[in-house]
Amino acid sequence: MITQAIVISVIGYFLCFAVLAVIWAVLALMRKLMETSEKPAVVPEVKPQPEVKVAVENNDDELIAVLTAAVAASLNTSVSHLKIKSFKRLPSGLSRWGTASVNENLVNKL
C-alpha cells in the first residue's frame, strides 16, 4: 500500500517536471523563431530645447466657477444650490494607486 503511494508520487513528480521541460523547450523554440537578424534603427540624438518659463495667472474666481459647474453637472442640480467655500489643489505627482484612492474618497464623501 505504501509502496504504491510512493510510486504514484514519483510518477506525479516526474510528469510535472516533464511538462515543465516541454513548456520550456517550446518557449525557447519560439524565442529562436521570433528573433530578427535586423539591427535596431539608430535614433538620432535630439538636443533638449531651452526651457521657457510662462507666467501663470492664478484666477481663482474662474476656477471656482468651473468647479461649481462640474459639481452641479455631476449631481444633476442647479448651480444656484451650490457654493464652493474652498478647494485644495492635489499634487500632480500621484501614482495611479494614489489617484484611485483620492477618487474613491471623493465618491464616498458625496
Long-range residue pairs from 56-64, CB within 8 A, at least 24 positions apart, any chain: 63/87
Give the CA angle between residues 53, 55, 58 to the nearest 5°: 145
Q: What pLDDT tens digit does each residue of the chain (110 aa) get?
A: 788 999 999 999 999 999 999 999 999 999 888 877 666 677 777 777 676 665 555 667 788 888 888 888 888 888 887 887 777 776 667 777 888 888 888 888 76
H helices of the chain, in order, are 2-34, 60-75, 96-109
Which pTM does this prediction carry? 0.33
Q: Which of 30, 89, 33, 87 is nearest to 56 (CA)?
A: 89
**Whether 72 contacts 78, CB under 8 Å:** yes
Cell of 20: 515543465
